[in-house]
Copies of this chain bind each other. A is one copy, B any other.
């Protein structure tokens, strides 16, 4: 199994309005350092998993509508708890939709929220 991973980040505000989240129910924010790991059983004719410029651009495009936003105000997150796990899955879906015709393999999205906590979602690109 081959992988290639690239890193970007976004800075967002949100609240987590469910009792389980304690003080995080309040409007707060996070820097998410976002790693997109592309996985494939085979390399292509250029000995790569995916073109790193395309991968970088697709990750940027997935994060662009979220950067410097208050997620509570975005239509796509209406009524959703935008936990780190949820956002990892959301970004996975956004990138998968963009590359599913050209990339066969899996994608793992990891969001680092601090030096002591991170979360991820991994699934087939489809």
- A94 nearest CB across to chain B (Å): 17
Q: Are A26 and B68 in touch, CB under 8 angstroms?
A: yes
Flag A1-15 by CB within 8 Å of B: 1 or 0 each.
111111111011110
- A114 nearest CB across to chain B (Å): 5
Knowing A29-B14, A83-B47, the reply to whether A119 touches B69 (Cβ < 8 A) is no
A-B contact pairs, 6 of them (CB 8 A): A2-B88, A3-B120, A11-B113, A20-B46, A22-B53, A29-B31
Knowing A52-B117, A80-B47, A81-B47, the reply to whether A29 touches B12 (Cβ < 8 A) is yes
- A45 nearest CB across to chain B (Å): 8
Q: Report A's interface with B, CB cutoff 8 A.
A: 1-9, 11-14, 18, 20-24, 26-33, 43, 46-49, 51-53, 67-70, 73, 80-86, 88-89, 113-123
Pick from B30, B70, B118: contact of A26, CB under 8 Å:
B70
Q: Are B11 and A28 in touch, CB under 8 angstroms?
A: yes
Knowing A11-B114, A30-B29, A117-B6, the reply to whether A83 touches B1 (Cβ < 8 A) is no
CB neighbours of A115 from chain B (8 A): 7, 9, 33, 115-116
